[in-house]
Amino acid sequence: MAGNITFTMIKPDAVRANNIGPILSMITEAGFRIKAMKFTHLNETTAGGFYAVHKERPFYGELVEFMSSGPIVAAILEKDNAVADFRELIGATNPAEAAEGTIRKKFATSIGENAVHGSDSDENAIIEGDYFFSNLEKF
Ligand code: ATP
Ligand code: MG
């Protein structure tokens, strides 16, 4: 059975563009409940640790630099079928390929600066949520 938890970040590009409000609005209107949330600023170590699975990819250095370039909003979201439904709401990694009505279609500017993160599996949703939040911060 699909899990009911996913993890998201509103990335530095979307925070800089003042799009926290509109993005959170799209998320909650799509039926996701906020279970945990914080405004924080990753550094190279914490961004690198989060994206360690991509360490061998050619864009890793650029990704870590971008993700530590400004504050982000991190959140755990709850909904039935959370991971798949949230990937559908955010759209394709490359905004040029993202479907109409998705968050990335609306707010992302490039494949690197693509406004939001969404977990890719139930297992990673738990790992990623635990990277940012203690049990005292989840409700
Ligand atoms: P995310 O994990 O952030 O939700 P995703 O699952 O759609 O995105 P991944 O393949 O996991 O995509 O890549 C992680 C992130 O790395 C992307 O969101 C993007 O910011 C960056 N990225 C991916 N591919 C490229 C690329 N070819 N060039 C530059 N950056 C890239
Ligand atoms: Mg991913």
CATH of domain 5-137: 3.30.70.141
Residues with CB under 6 A from ligand 1: 54, 59, 62-63, 93, 111-112, 114, 117-118, 120
Q: Which of 93, 104, 113, 114, when mutated, tests ligand 1's pocket best, judged by the most ligand atoms within 8 Å of its CB? A: 93
At residue 115, φ and ψ (nearest 5 deg) are 70, -45
At residue 37, φ and ψ (nearest 5 deg) are -160, 140
Q: Which two tokens stand for residue 34?
A: 């906020």
CA distances to 11, 58, 80 from 105, rounded to whole Å, are 15, 24, 24
User: Tell me, what's the pLDDT at 2?
Assistant: 86
pTM: 0.97
Q: How confident is the model at residue 128 (pLDDT cuts 50, 70, 90)?
A: very high
Q: Which of 59, 73, 103, 131, when mutated, tests ligand 1's pocket best, judged by the most ligand atoms within 8 Å of its CB? A: 59
Residue nearest to atom 1 of ligand 1 (CA): 117
pLDDT tens-digit readout, 43-101: 999 999 999 999 999 999 999 999 999 999 999 999 999 999 999 999 999 999 999 99
* Three-class secondary structure of residue 94 per DSSP: coil
The residue extents of the domains of the chain are: 5-137
The long-range contacts involving 130-133, CB below 8 angstroms and separated by at least 24 positions, are: 131/49, 131/50, 132/7, 132/36, 132/38, 132/40, 132/74, 132/76, 133/36, 133/38, 133/74, 133/76
* Distance in angstroms (rounded) separating the CA atoms of residues 1 and 40: 33
Q: Which two tokens stand for residue 63?
A: 């990704």
